């Protein structure tokens, strides 16, 4: 509370000084001053919104994940083994470990995880990978998205043998972060500030979208123009945005069309900086990239079994 009072006093002093010099300012300076005041108000509101409940939310999330582990064991017929402490391996990525070995039916695993997340309104945009306890091999995995057409669900009818497994859950950032009322209130001025900026530059932005992105840097992929600098695909007057990893993948393929690119090379070049390579991650991004290249039927990302992938471009 002492910190908040100091912030309030500091803001009051700034506003008093602003009032003294306002009469001597021109129109543009007053506009900049207004934007600065709005940004300052945003900072103040955010300071008020930090209510010290982060530890509570973290504990609640861990309980939810342990509950998911409990449900998985129940579906496998194990009602006595313990779920070990949840391990956070990255931002919005967690691992569930278990005391004893167990077997599982993929359908039951999907149901146990999906139903638990649905109760917390977190059943959108997450990836599940089941690894052996060494963490090297992915024995089963799938991806769930808000747009169900993008779901990736491999064959799930084969029962997995009894073994030591680790379940890796990765959530999309905005899906796992549970908003607090204080944050929402504190974000209102920030949204107003951003809206004001966008309204000022709306005409210019619209013009830039309608024009070709960064002319001269486009790569031709069939009838599709690929601009790696702006991470965009342009086809038949439509512009499709690419994520950072999709952009890196497509740049590798576009640099060597109709040539087989080994999986190991793709994994190394895309995920090497992150320190952890999960086999299913590559398949997930390849699938997304295929959907974004569907505008040109002459362009296909082909899986070469046991080797890698190839960008086929039929003339």
pLDDT tens across 283-293, in order? Answer: 888 889 999 98
124 pLDDT above the threshold of 80: no
Q: What is the pLDDT of residue 12?
A: 59
The larger pLDDT score, comparing residue 27 to residue 132, is at 132
Q: How many angstroms separate the CA atoms of 291 and 273, rounded? A: 26
- Token couple for 15: 């506003």
Let me know whether 217 and 128 are in one domain.
no
More confident residue, 179 or 57: 57
Percent of the chain's residues with pLDDT above 90: 11
Residue whose entry in the numeric block shows the structure tokens 């194990």: 78
Beta carbons within 8 Å of 99's beta carbon, 6+ residues apart: 81, 82, 83, 84
Say yes or no to pLDDT of 306 above 80.
Answer: yes
Instruction: Give the pLDDT confidence score for residue 260 in this predicted structure.
Output: 92
* Angstrom distance (rounded) from CA 18 to CA 21: 5
Higher-scoring residue by pLDDT: 84, 185: 84
| 206 within some domain | no
At 259 the pLDDT is: 92
Among all chains, which residue has been given the structure tokens 């974000």? 187
| pLDDT reported for residue 61 | 79
Buried-exposed string 89-110: b where 16+ CB fall within 10 A, e elsewhere: eeeebbbbbbeeebebebebbb
Are 163 and 246 part of one and the same domain?
no
The domain that holds 277 is classified in CATH as: 1.10.10.10
114/41 same-domain check: no
pLDDT of residue 142: 86
More confident residue, 37 or 89: 89
Q: Give pLDDT tens digits for 184-234.
A: 455 555 555 555 655 555 444 443 333 344 445 688 888 899 999 999 999
How do residues 20-70 score in pLDDT, each as one tens digit? 555 555 555 656 666 666 666 666 655 555 544 456 777 777 888 888 989
Cα gap 44→181, rounded to integer Å: 16
Residue pair 298/145 in contact by the 8 Å Cβ criterion: no
| pLDDT over threshold 70, residue 11 | no
Residue 214 and residue 234 in contact, taking contact as beta carbons nearer than 8 Å? no
The span from the CA of 142 to the CA of 217, in Å, is 36
- Provide the 8-state DSSP code for 79: S
What band does 106 get if pLDDT is binned at 50, 70 and 90?
confident
Three-state DSSP state, 171: strand
66 Cβ contact partners less than 8 Å away, ≥ 6 residues apart? 83, 86, 96
| Cα distance between residue 183 and residue 178, in whole Å | 10
Task: List residues bridging with 235 in a β-sheet.
Answer: 238
Residue 207 lies in a domain: no
* Domain membership flag for residue 205: no
User: Which of 186 and 128 is assigned the larger pLDDT?
Assistant: 128
65 and 42, same domain (yes or no): no
Judged against a pLDDT cut of 60, whether residue 84 lies above it is answered with: yes
98: confidence class by pLDDT, cuts 50, 70, 90: very high
Residue 297 pLDDT greater than 70, yes or no? yes
Q: How confident is the model at residue 178 (pLDDT cuts 50, 70, 90)?
A: very low
Enclosing domain of residue 98: 54-176
Decide: helix, strand or coil at residue 81: coil
Tell me, yes or no, whether 301 and 195 share the same domain: no
Q: Average pLDDT, whole number, for the chain?
A: 75
Count of domains observed in the chain = 3
The per-residue pLDDT for range 229-263, each reduced to its tens digit, is: 999 999 888 899 999 889 989 999 988 889 999 98
Q: Is the pTM of this model over 0.85?
A: no
305 and 216 share a domain? yes
The more confident residue out of 103 and 11 is 103
Name, in order, each residue with C-beta under 8 angstroms of 289's C-beta and a sequence gap of 6 or more: 242, 246, 249, 250, 301
Q: Do 66 and 147 share a structural domain? A: yes
Q: Which of 169, 168, 123 minimizes the C-alpha distance to 147?
A: 123
| Element spanning 124, H or E | none
Per DSSP, 189 falls in state H
Residue of 167, 64, 163 whose CA lies nearest to 110: 167
- Please state, in angstroms and rounded to a whole number, the distance separating the CA atoms of residues 237 and 234: 7
Joined together, the tokens standing for residue 154 give: 């491999």
- Any domain includes 163: yes
Q: What ranges in the chain are assigned the alpha helix state H?
A: 2-21, 27-49, 54-75, 106-119, 173-176, 181-210, 244-255, 263-271, 279-292
Residue 176 has pLDDT above 60, yes or no: no
């Amino acid at each position: 509370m002492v910190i908040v009072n100091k912030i309030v006093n500091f803001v009051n002093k700034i506003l008093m000084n602003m009032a003294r010099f306002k009469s001597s300012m021109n129109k543009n300076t007053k506009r900049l001053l207004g934007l600065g005041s709005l940004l300052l108000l945003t900072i103040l509101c955010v300071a008020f919104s930090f209510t010290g409940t982060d530890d509570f939310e973290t504990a609640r999330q861990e309980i939810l994940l342990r509950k998911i582990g409990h449900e998985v064991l129940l579906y496998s017929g194990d009602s006595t083994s313990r779920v070990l402490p949840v391990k956070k391996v990255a931002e919005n990525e967690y691992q569930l470990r278990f005391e004893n070995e167990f077997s599982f039916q993929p359908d039951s695993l999907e149901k146990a995880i999906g139903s638990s997340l649905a109760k917390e309104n977190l059943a959108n945009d997450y990836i599940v990978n089941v690894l052996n306890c060494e963490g090297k091999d992915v024995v089963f995995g799938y991806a769930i998205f808000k747009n169900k057409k993008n779901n990736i669900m491999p064959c799930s009818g084969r029962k997995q043998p009894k073994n030591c497994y680790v379940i890796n859950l990765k959530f999309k950032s905005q899906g796992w972060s549970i908003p607090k009322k204080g944050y929402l209130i504190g974000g209102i001025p920030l949204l107003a500030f951003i809206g004001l900026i966008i309204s000022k530059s709306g005409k210019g932005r619209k013009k830039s979208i309608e024009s070709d992105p960064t002319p001269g840097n486009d790569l031709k992929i069939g009838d599709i123009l690929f601009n790696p600098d702006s991470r965009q695909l342009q086809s038949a007057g439509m512009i499709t945005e690419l994520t950072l990893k999709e952009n890196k993948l497509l740049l590798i393929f576009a640099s060597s069309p109709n040539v087989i690119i080994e999986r190991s090379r793709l994994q190394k070049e895309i995920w090497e900086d992150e320190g952890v390579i999960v086999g299913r991650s590559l398949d997930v991004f390849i699938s997304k990239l295929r959907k974004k290249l569907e505008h040109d039927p002459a362009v296909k990302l082909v899986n070469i079994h046991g080797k890698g992938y190839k960008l086929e471009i039929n003339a």
